[in-house]
Structure 1
Amino acid sequence: MVQYNPKDWITFIFRFHESDTFRQLIPMMIFIGFYAYGIAYLELEYWKLSETSHVKNLNVMHTTVGFVLSLLLAYRTNTAYDRWWEGRKQWGALVNNSRNLAIKLSAYLSDENDRNFYRKVIPAYASVLSKHLLNEEVSKMLFEGLDLEMDHHKHRPNQVAKMLFQKANDLYKSGKITGDQFYIINSELQSFTDICGACERIKNTPIPYSYSSFIKKFIFFFVMTLPFGFVFSLGYYVIPVVIFIFYVLASLELIAEEIEDPFGNDANDLPMTKIASNIKKHVEEIL
């Protein structure tokens, strides 16, 4: 995730990072510029349309349709941000629940082997979940110091959650923790699977295709018709104006596309690897 100072306006204006929409839209902006020039040339030089031409009245359509388009883009952006923020809240809950589980176990357990097990496996859940959401293979290095293996043909976070709960059940059966203590840590153990399910829901349920496709088509045809009416009032200055309008509208859609799936490798996706590393650091400090 991009780290920045929100108060540094100058940096925002003149800095173009890798995921900046301007870089991605340059080819299309060049095409739009030539297209606008072609329409302006035809209307002003070739067809020599006058100010009384009905083509000038296309601006009325743009005024009406532009309001509808702005509402659609606002809803699109808000929906995408809600998905990003929901993903961040779930990982924040994973951080808190990992700490809470480690704190409770540090008070309950006195055997160093038991403490070492949870010292390794609690952070392992966050690491496995991050790789699961990124569709990456899980390395055995995650379980360094423990004789544990992952079955890559099965749900990997569930396997780690099962290990955590099975160990807690063994501690209860052996009398190392009481029934009340087992009940107290059960909420944290259960929350891991709840968080995983919530993240999978976000990742596996994208914005409906028909909705996303319609917005893209709407933006395209809206921009393509802009030069016809604005040529009469702007002349050849319609070229930079249309390019700018396209840049604004298309950028909003690109930003929404990037953040609607927060579990990826884009610049503005959630830093799951860093969060998992912090969980490992905190759990090791506690246990």
Structure 2
Amino acid sequence: MIDYNPKNWWKFIFYFHKSDTFSKLMPAMLGIAAYTAIFAYVENNILHYVPIRNPLTVHSLVGFVLSLLLVFRTNTAYDRWWEGRKIWGSFTNNSRNFALKLSTLLPEGHTSRETIRILIGNYLQATKDHLRGKAKVDHLTFTATYNEDYYKDHKHIPNRVAKALYTEIYKLHQEGLFNLEQFLALNNELSSFTDNLGACERIKNTPIPVSYNIFIKKIIFIYVFTMPITAVLEYKFWSIPIVTLVFYAFAGIEIMAEEIEEPFGTDANDLGLDNMVVNIKGNLLEIL
């Protein structure tokens, strides 16, 4: 995720980075410009069509409908991105609450403080890797009980870490370090971890319906590639930058929506999960 100052207009007008839509669309924009230029030359210098009245009327109506579709598309993608951010905010709060309760219930120097701190950090690390499709055991921190052998041969690493957390809390309850009410309060915090993970998996495993994506792309393609037919009658060779700009606007919105609809990846505009996990681990270290 990119940190930026939203008030610095001039920087963003002339700034390009690897995920910038202008950079991604540059080859296609050049192709559209060349296509329009050829169409304008043929129509104005060879065929000499008689201009018709209001040639852009149909495209104006279709453009309005297409704009509404893209607004809905962008809002849907942003809702997914924002819901993912809220879920990871809940991860942060739940981790802190869980750690604060344990720091009060467990005596200073108790070995379980360190073990549980490591397990909570492992759960968040495993969740982040799991959502990115590459959960790896070697990204975790091992303890004497929960070492590499404990995690190997398990496909869903977050569930394995959650089981270790439940085991530790139940063991402490059996030792009499907290009563039943306190045990249930801690159990609720643990359940929230699994609930948050399930919500993240729902976002990741339920993409925007493919038919909707295909339809918008087809409409953009048809709209842009038929626009020179009428644009050159009205604007002559000025239709070259006009059609190119229209393509950039519509296709750019679609590309931005594609990027943020999957918020747990590693694209520039995806959620900064790496920093979130590091910050939460730092909080846990201070508390426990």
Tell me the TM-score normalized by structure 1.
Answer: 0.96
SS state of the match for residue 269, structure 1? coil
Distance 2:154 2:49 in 1: 67
Task: Look up the SS of the partner of 1:285 in the other structure.
Answer: helix
Instruction: Rate the CA distance shift 1:171–1:75 in 2: closer, same or farther, 3 A.
Output: same
Instruction: Tell me if the contact between 2:135 and 2:157 (Cα under 8 Å) persists in the aligned partners.
Output: no
**Partner residue, 1:193:** 194
Q: 1:22 touches 1:247 (CA, 8 Å); kept in 2?
A: yes
> Helix, strand or coil: the match of 2:145?
coil
In the alignment, the residues of structure 1 paired with residue 42 and residue 153 of structure 2 have an alpha-carbon distance, to the nearest angstrom, of: 62
Q: Per the alignment, in what secondary structure is the counterpart of residue 140 of structure 2? A: helix
1:76 correspondence with 2:73 = yes
Q: Secondary structure at the match of 1:154?
A: coil
Instruction: Show the counterpart of 2:40.
Output: 40
| Alignment correspondent of 1:86 | 83
The 5-angstrom pairing of residues 237-252 of structure 1 reads 237-252=238-253
CA contact (8 A) 2:97 2:189 kept: yes
Deviation at residue 250 of structure 1 after TM alignment: 0.2
SS of 2:160's equivalent?
helix
In structure 1, C-alpha distance between the alignment counterparts of 2:214 and 2:162, rounded to whole Å:
39
Instruction: Output the CA distance in 2 between the equivalents of 1:224 and 1:146.
Output: 64
Counterpart of 2:226? 225
- 1:141: how far off? 5.1
Deviation at 1:137, TM superposition (A): 3.5
Q: Distance in 2 between matches of 1:198 and 1:152?
A: 25
Structure 2 residue 134 is the aligned partner of structure 1 residue 136: yes
Per the alignment, residue 3 of structure 1 pairs with: 3
Deviation at 1:142, TM superposition (A): 1.7
Change in Cα spacing, 1:152 to 1:257, as seen in structure 2 (3 Å) is: farther
Aligned residue runs from structure 1 range 58-73, under 5 A: 58-73=55-70
CA contact (8 A) 2:55 2:233 kept: no
Distance across 2 between alignment mates of 1:162 and 1:153: 12
AA aligned opposite 2:28 = M
Q: What whole-Å deviation, never above 9, does each CA across 1:136-183 have from its counterpart, x for those lacking one?
A: 142335223443231344311111111111111111112111111101
Unaligned 5+ segments in structure 1 are none
Report if the CA contact (8 A) 1:117-1:146 is conserved: no
Q: 1:109, CA displacement in angstroms?
A: 0.5
Choose 58-67 or 189-198, whichever is displaced more: 58-67
Question: How many aligned residue pairs are there?
Answer: 284
Corresponding position: 1:210 with 2:211? yes
Structure 1 CA distance, aligned partners of 2:39 and 2:258?
A: 31
**Secondary structure of the corresponding residue to residue 143 of structure 1:** coil
For residue 178 of structure 2, give the secondary structure of its aligned residue in structure 1: coil
Match of 2:124 in 1: 126
- Structure 2 CA distance, aligned partners of 1:141 and 1:26? 38
Q: Which amino acid aligns with 1:85?
A: W
Structure 1 counterpart of 2:62, which letter? V
* CA gap 1:76/1:115 in 2 versus in 1, 3 angstroms: same
> Unaligned regions of 5+ residues in structure 2, if any?
none
**What is the aligned counterpart of 2:101 among 94, 101, 104?**
104
% same residue: 48
CA contact (8 A) 2:87 2:199 kept: yes
Q: TM-score, normalised by structure 2?
A: 0.95
Give the Cα–Cα distance (whole angstroms) in 2 for the partners of residues 5 and 146 of structure 1: 45
**Amino acid in the other structure paired with 2:110:** E
Which stretch shows the higher mean deviation, 146-155 or 127-136? Answer: 146-155
User: Match for residue 155 of structure 1?
Assistant: 156
Give distance in 2, aligned partners of 1:141 and 1:88. 23
